[in-house]
Structure 1
Amino acid sequence: MDRPDLLLPSRRRMLRDSAAGFGLVALAAMLADDARASSSSSSPRDGSSPKPPHFEPKAKRVIFLFMKGGPSHLDTFDEKPLLRRDDGKPLPFAKPRVQFAETGALLASPWRFRRHGESGQPVSSLFPNVARCVDDLCIIKSLHGTNPAHGGALLKLHTGSDTFVRPSMGAWIAYGLGTENQNLPAFVTICPTLAHGGVRNWGSAFLPASCQGTPLGNASVPSDQARVGYIDNPRFPRRLQREQLDLLADLHRNHQALTGGDPALEGRIASFELAFRMQAEMPEAQDLSGESRATIRDYGLDDPVTADFGRQCLLARRLSERGVRFVQVTHSDTNVQWDQHSNLKQGHEKNAREVDRPIAALLRDLKARGLLEDTLVLWGGEFGRTPTAQGKDGRDHNPEGFTMWLAGGGVKPGISFGATDDYGYYAVEDKVHIHDLHATLLHLLGLDHERLTYRHAGRDFRLTDVAGRVVHEIIAS
């Protein structure tokens, strides 16, 4: 006798036996979503051409001076007299529930602070040259993040997420605004670190490939040897390369007519075209032979201590004035960085000597050329340091409160905003989260952080995730 349950299988059995299953159904839906998102979102906003902002911008471009390892706010721009008074005493309140490692008593800064400029902002003796530019700085002393480890903190600062692969802020800016120079990328990162997230810190994730950062060398390569990989093609002359690309474009147009287009393929072809055009433009941008002796000297290229970072800063100015939207300059090495768990005085003095003169030169140079008013310069690291000692003479990681500063690009000059507590452990006044910093950067560039979205895997993503507020208090009227 026939059994009805065998003649009429359940829906679960039917899906299983047909090798479809819910996973394949969901996959098909996600692929359809991605295809719709790619065709509607990525095509009009990739990094290969200029795009209009959402509203009138105050800045056109960004130079990010990244101090890898976490410079101590307490020893640079956030003076704490009580920390000096109570050196060696216990911290009079609770430490964070989550800490990177154990620390002991309070540790006074070994450097003296002085007030500088008409604004009277305090700067430590570590930065005598930057101190002369203090009237151009907008110093945010109440930054805070969520991760006490380098890897997570770097990703949070660069991408807005410390747990997932997300596009970097440079990629978001390239996506939103494109490049002002068709022969150069929208986003260039000079001597980037390959540690603690590595390429993800300048990647484009699910954004179009043309939005990712183009690296000039990496942190293990001296800046005078830093080049774009495979920028030269010694096998074929430019005329033949042009013919190859024209043939590829013809094939692509035929493919589009048959299939309706493939955004991923379009992105690859756009990258081929950019690589071809960069062969002439990028070497010229990196050629410093036309710079005056005074400029070379100001940036510290005549001193082996400052030459490496000075060249990076000078390249950043040259790339910015040629239309690159986002240039990142990274100060890092394989030994010291800014991560002084011990030997704070020795390590921070070494680092400051290498960057102080070039940073001040960059600010003066941009200002003299009329570029500072629409170039936003951002300085800082992934977190600060603890006011309590690690070992005898070190400081541990501290994402609870730290300092970054901005200059130019529509921010109020000669001010400080926010504050940490009396010892510099926690941000307590006018707190600025990393998401708030990102929202403010985008706003200064004329981009609404809530509107700059990309649909991926069924969700609209943005740099600030579901948070972030624009810090209007630091924006010049």
Structure 2
Amino acid sequence: MNRRELLRNTTMGFGSLALNSMLAAESQPNKLPHLVAKAKRVIFLFQAGGPSQVDLLDPKPLLNKLHGEQLPDSVRGGQRLTGMSGNQSSIPLAGSPFKFAQHGQSGQWFSEILPHTAKIADDICVIKNMYTEAINHGPGVTYLQTGSQIAGRPSMGAWTQYGLGTTNEDLPAFVVLVTKNKSGQPLVSRLWGSGFLPSEYQGIRFRSGKDPVLYLNNPEGVSPQARRQLLDRLSDLHSHQHALAEEQAILDRIQQYEMAFNMQSSVPEVADMSDEPQSTFDLYGEEARNSGSFAANCLLARRLAERGVKFIQLYHQGWDQHGGLKGGITRQCRETDQPSAALVQDLKQRGMLEDTLVVWGGEFGRTNYSQGKLNGDNFGRDHHPRCFTMWMAGGGVKGGMSYGQTDDYGYNIVNADGVPISPTKHHYTEDAVHVHDLQATMLHLLGLDHTALTYKFQGRRFRLTDVHGDIVKPILA
């Protein structure tokens, strides 16, 4: 006789009731400290590989002036380098091959290869003082997505669904879209997984093609009526099993089967772009007609947001320019610049931007020096976690704002007086924004207190921000 049977069959069943009550309490989010939400949903445009901030959003004229000269030891300050450039005999500074200009009433700076993002200068907040401890892609992406460099923790989307639930029974609360036919650092399902949270909170990946969700459609010869009868009988069996075992996982399984059945009609409808007018494709670009492209995924993200999906995660690979930076980053911007800006403009004209938080950025930035020898414009940049740039729009964030600054070399974060600082690990100051601070701020805008959104696992209460993180209040509208 196991523990559950003992408690159920003795003490008139009251022991079993007490056990179930404790288990339920441990698995539910803490509701009391939740706040008034500014954002109802998040669309995260994740640029995997680490976009170069000094070539896109954080211009450094000094690098062009000192192009080819050595990075001063005083600037580096003994910081570790990756194995790819740490053994270089020289570390030559590399100026950007692109021109920068100010845009909008806010006068924010943008590279010439971001002409469309420049048009939404007054709608976005450019955060230039991001930093992380992760120096390689796997830990870096995992850190930003799950709050830990070590795999196994729930993703940000899973935490969001766990805290907020869902408002649409026909679509998942957490959807993942990956640009097709892209190469680069691998993207694995644990990045949008539920970790130790119940499996119902994991992200559902939508793919391009006629079957956006794997194994969703009925096999040949199985009618919708037959599938409905099958699920009804299966639900009866699971309910009978739950009456004996009283395990939450059984109820979760029933709910997931029902969601899959409802998605058989809802997913084809949301993925069908035929009802979009030509003006939509003029805005996003004709590539938005190509299912699975980044442009098509941005448009699909708007359609999912309209239907109540809480967290929409886009991944776009290819930003890891260790060599051939000029051509590689130009191609990346050609694929992402217009649709990223179009998404913000589209949400704004529909009155949705004010309660939709759009986030753009990668796992870290790139170095101000060349990886390997300089050969004109044919050079690359290594990983740089000490400072990088992201932008946010809508959902309670101030538009037309540039927050934080880096030194003239683009190597260190500096304070308001221009003095380089060494930010404390995992901790927000008025001068630097850590990965955990970004996560805390995103949850805050969704109405979730990051210190109270916890889940007990293996005797400890875990949260997305671990035991760190502070809200970046200056960027809040």
Q: TM > 0.5 between the two?
A: yes
Q: Which residue of 2 aligns with 1:315?
A: 300
Q: Which residue of 1 aligns with 2:466?
A: 465
- CA distance in 1: counterparts of 2:215 and 2:81, whole angstroms: 43
- CA distance in 1: counterparts of 2:364 and 2:253, whole angstroms: 36
SS in 2 for 1:395: coil
Identity %: 50
Show the 5 A alignment for 1:91-106. Answer: 91-92=71-72, 93-94=75-76, 96-100=78-82, 101-102=84-85, 104-106=91-93
- CA distance in 2: counterparts of 1:224 and 1:295, whole angstroms: 20
The one of 376, 379, 385 equivalent to 2:366 is: 385
- CA distance in 2: counterparts of 1:254 and 1:81, whole angstroms: 70
Gaps of 5+ in 1: 1-33, 218-222
- Alpha carbons of structure 1 residues 274 and 41: separation in structure 2 relative to 1, 3 Å: farther
- CA distance in 1: counterparts of 2:294 and 2:332, whole angstroms: 10
- Post-superposition shift, 1:139? 0.7
Q: Which residue of 1 aligns with 2:123?
A: 136
Show the 5 A alignment for 1:238-317. Answer: 238-259=224-245, 261-302=246-287, 308-317=293-302
Q: Is the 8 A contact 2:29 2:454 kept in 1?
A: no
- Post-superposition shift, 1:41? 4.0
Gaps of 5+ in 2: 1-18, 416-430
- CA distance in 1: counterparts of 2:351 and 2:295, whole angstroms: 20
The one of 325, 328, 340 equivalent to 2:313 is: 328
SS in 2 for 1:389: coil
Higher alpha-carbon deviation: 84-93 or 268-277: 84-93
Show the 5 A alignment for 1:201-240. Answer: 201-217=191-207, 223-224=208-209, 227-234=212-219, 235-240=221-226
- CA distance in 2: counterparts of 1:268 and 1:205, whole angstroms: 17
- CA distance in 1: counterparts of 2:264 and 2:224, whole angstroms: 9
SS in 2 for 1:54: coil
Q: Which residue of 1 aligns with 2:62?
A: 82
The one of 421, 427, 430 equivalent to 2:407 is: 421
Q: Which amino acid aligns with 2:412?
A: Y
- Alpha carbons of structure 1 residues 306 and 109: separation in structure 2 relative to 1, 3 Å: farther
Q: Which residue of 1 aligns with 2:4?
A: none
- CA distance in 1: counterparts of 2:456 and 2:255, whole angstroms: 21
- Alpha carbons of structure 1 residues 432 and 302: separation in structure 2 relative to 1, 3 Å: closer
CA deviation profile, 1:321-344 (whole Å, cap 9, x unmatched): 101101111112xxxx11111111
CA deviation profile, 1:233-290 (whole Å, cap 9, x unmatched): 034222222222222332333333333x212222222111110110010110000000
- Post-superposition shift, 1:298? 1.6
- Post-superposition shift, 1:306? 11
The one of 349, 352, 355 equivalent to 1:374 is: 355
- CA distance in 2: counterparts of 1:305 and 1:128, whole angstroms: 22
1:343 is the counterpart of 2:324: yes
- Alpha carbons of structure 1 residues 307 and 116: separation in structure 2 relative to 1, 3 Å: farther
Q: Is the 8 A contact 1:301 1:311 kept in 2?
A: no
Q: Which residue of 1 aligns with 2:425?
A: none
- Post-superposition shift, 1:304? 8.8
Show the 5 A alignment for 1:97-246. Answer: 97-100=79-82, 101-102=84-85, 104-191=91-178, 196=186, 198-217=188-207, 223-224=208-209, 227-234=212-219, 235-246=221-232
Q: Is the 8 A contact 2:175 2:205 kept in 1?
A: yes
CA deviation profile, 1:287-315 (whole Å, cap 9, x unmatched): 00000011022211258999821101000
Higher alpha-carbon deviation: 195-204 or 377-386: 195-204
The one of 8, 33, 40 equivalent to 1:60 is: 40
- Alpha carbons of structure 1 residues 395 and 69: separation in structure 2 relative to 1, 3 Å: same
Q: Which residue of 2 aligns with 1:362?
A: 343
1:400 is the counterpart of 2:381: no
- TM-score in terms of structure 2 length: 0.85
Q: Which amino acid aligns with 1:209?
A: S
Q: Which residue of 2 aligns with 1:14?
A: none
- Alpha carbons of structure 1 residues 394 and 189: separation in structure 2 relative to 1, 3 Å: same
- Post-superposition shift, 1:224? 5.0
- Post-superposition shift, 1:45? 5.6
Q: Which residue of 2 aligns with 1:5?
A: none
- CA distance in 2: counterparts of 1:160 and 1:52, whole angstroms: 23
Higher alpha-carbon deviation: 264-273 or 438-447: 264-273
SS in 1 for 2:109: strand
Task: Name the Cα RMSD after superposition.
Answer: 2.3
- CA distance in 1: counterparts of 2:395 and 2:278, whole angstroms: 28
- CA distance in 2: counterparts of 1:35 and 1:122, whole angstroms: 57
Q: Is the 8 A contact 1:402 1:427 kept in 2?
A: no
1:448 is the counterpart of 2:449: yes
- CA distance in 1: counterparts of 2:149 and 2:387, whole angstroms: 17
